[in-house]
Structure 1
Amino acid sequence: MTIESGAPVVVGVDGSAAALDAVRVATREAAYRRRSLRVVHAFHWPLAVAPLGLVPAVPADDSLRREAERVAAEAAAEAGKIDPEVPVTAVVIDGAPTPVLLDEARDAALVVLGHRGLGGFAGLLIGSVTVQVSARAECPVLVVRGEPRADGPVVVGVDGSALSTEAVAFAFEEAARRDAPLVAVHAWLDPAPVAPGDLIPMMYDLTALGEDEERVLAESVAGWAERYPEVSVRHRLVRGAAAPVLVAESASAQLVVVGAHGRGALGGLLLGSVSHALLHHAHAPLAIVRHRRTADAA
């Protein structure tokens, strides 16, 4: 396999089983892209109480640092088992996980994370680092839960928004790399107010609304279908809430792709409601796209 120069695939690790799942998927993603893999472990000293406040609790030896290096090395070794042809670099970087990974994302083709690491509370389905990095990273973020299926389509959520357009482009690229079909899903509901003072008509034509929504789906996909003629595309227009529709579609998918925010997202939210729901409930790996780094730009 010839490795192309450019942005690597980055995977965050913390010694958890979920992180090793992410390493396995990240290695395959690096192979798809012919890129190197960069294994990143964020290391920060625990804090201790001192008379003047919290200070780093520096141990008498460097055992914590050695443990961090062991975690990174173990993850790199796991990557080598999956595909020994993928070049792997393992690094330990001082800092908290979220800022370290966001900094790594600036120069990455893709960031891959487990759905929850060692810092996750048992009652939470998704770790806070995963949510924050997914919402703010400057490249697509792939969130892994367990071992993904090797078959099935790439599913992309479409709503006509700018980030949906980025998600559609990313989904076509992934479907072409994987030689997989693409299912473009657009779910719609009856008209609802999206801003204070919006007036909803007492009566509206459901047939006309359905035709409008079908146009949104067709126009969102059309240009990319021409660019990737080898990708078999199926349109799925569903009257219903997007989150449960996409969760159901994820059960038979090898990958689900959405934008970080959709048309109805509020600016103050870290993630849109659909992407947030899929982070918690999708059955397949989930790619969340805010910025798409093309092969030419990477």
Structure 2
Amino acid sequence: MNRPVVAGVDGSPSSLVAAEHAARAAVLRTCPLHLVHGYLHPLGYGIPINPYEMGIPAPSEEARKMLDQTAADLVGRWPGLNVEVRQIAGGPGATLVEESRRAELVVVGSRGLGGFGGLLLGSVGAQVAAHARCPVLVVRPAEEPIPVQGPVLVGVDGSEGAELAVGYAADEAARREVELVLVHVRAPGEEGPAETQALLDTAVAATRGSHPGLTVTVRLLRADKPESALIEASGGAGLVVVGTRGRGGFTGMLLGSVSQSLVQHAHCPVLVAHPYRQAR
């Protein structure tokens, strides 16, 4: 099954930058690209906003032109890219979560149309990052230059989520032909126990074994909070990969505090390492 890379596009600058990153991801994965526009209000979730109005509004010609133009621009930059455009009657967040069940990757911008300027991640991006059924790439705004050739960073803490994130990070570093940096954060003055070194050694051996030739380094950082150290380290990275929850995460939380902080504040795109879930 050749699952597509899916990008949510609403015509906003943030979504158009996300579409560019999605196109690049599709080329690297040899996947088709699906540009999707959920055309009901985000609070509509696939039903008319007016409860007394019968029926679903028709797709808009303006949105169709926007999607077609975006697709043409991307194919012009990446000849041979297979692009499909679709308008779907549903709230943007709910639409992308549903699409994620059959996707290789979902890409969202940090803010779409109607986003509040003070929010670093809009409601749609937050919804998709938390609920998607496949990995999610959250792309920062266009006004922040993104070093696409920078290394791929991933935190290592021994949690199940971090193990999955390390695997995704290694795959991404190999595709991009860049360095993979395994980051472990300790509190100031804390001595690293022997099991921590064994954990890092195992992660290095696993990534080098699965990706021969990949440059893998370990970076030990000191900080009271791991999210602070990872956010600062993301400044020189091309991508940071996070698990959905790390050690000590509350089971009921869809994204742990470290993941939430990075999705909101990282200086580069963030890949949220959701496991793949089968389409129903």
TM-score range, shorter chain: 0.7 to 0.9
CA contact (8 A) 2:222 2:229 kept: no
The aligned residue for residue 8 of structure 1 is 4
Selected match of 1:261 from 222, 245, 252: 245
TM-score normalised according to structure 1 size:
0.83
Rounded Cα–Cα distance in structure 2 between residues aligned with 1:218 and 1:35: 33
The aligned residue for residue 198 of structure 1 is none
CA contact (8 A) 2:56 2:89 kept: no
Secondary structure in structure 1 of the residue aligned to 2:102: coil
Return 268-277 or 26-35, whichever deviates more.
Answer: 268-277
Rounded Cα–Cα distance in structure 1 between residues aligned with 2:122 and 2:255: 14
The aligned residue for residue 224 of structure 1 is 207
Task: Please tell me whether residue 252 in structure 1 is matched to residue 236 in structure 2.
Answer: yes
Selected match of 1:285 from 258, 269, 274: 269
Secondary structure in structure 2 of the residue aligned to 1:287: strand
Aligned residue runs from structure 1 range 122-141, under 5 A: 122-141=117-136
Task: Please tell me whether residue 119 in structure 1 is matched to residue 117 in structure 2.
Answer: no
Task: Please tell me whether residue 107 in structure 1 is matched to residue 91 in structure 2.
Answer: no
Which is higher, the Rg of structure 1 or of structure 2? Answer: 1
Aligned residue runs from structure 1 range 1-298, under 5 A: 6-44=2-40, 55=53, 65-145=60-140, 146=142, 148-189=146-187, 206-207=190-191, 209-240=192-223, 241-292=225-276
Residues 1:56 and 1:259: Cα distance change in structure 2 (over 3 Å): farther
Rounded Cα–Cα distance in structure 2 between residues aligned with 1:68 and 1:186: 45
Rounded Cα–Cα distance in structure 1 between residues aligned with 2:76 and 2:227: 36
Amino acid at match of 1:8: P
TM-score normalised according to structure 2 size:
0.88
What's the CA shift string for 1:62-98, capped at 9, x where partnerless?
6x62122223223212322321211100000111112
Structure 1 unaligned segments of length 5 or more: list them: 191-204, 294-298
Residues 1:9 and 1:183: Cα distance change in structure 2 (over 3 Å): same
Rounded Cα–Cα distance in structure 2 between residues aligned with 1:206 and 1:99: 43
The count of residues paired between Structure 1 and Structure 2 equals 268
Secondary structure in structure 1 of the residue aligned to 2:31: coil
Residues 1:35 and 1:189: Cα distance change in structure 2 (over 3 Å): same
Secondary structure in structure 2 of the residue aligned to 1:102: helix
Structure 2 unaligned segments of length 5 or more: list them: none
CA contact (8 A) 1:13 1:20 kept: yes
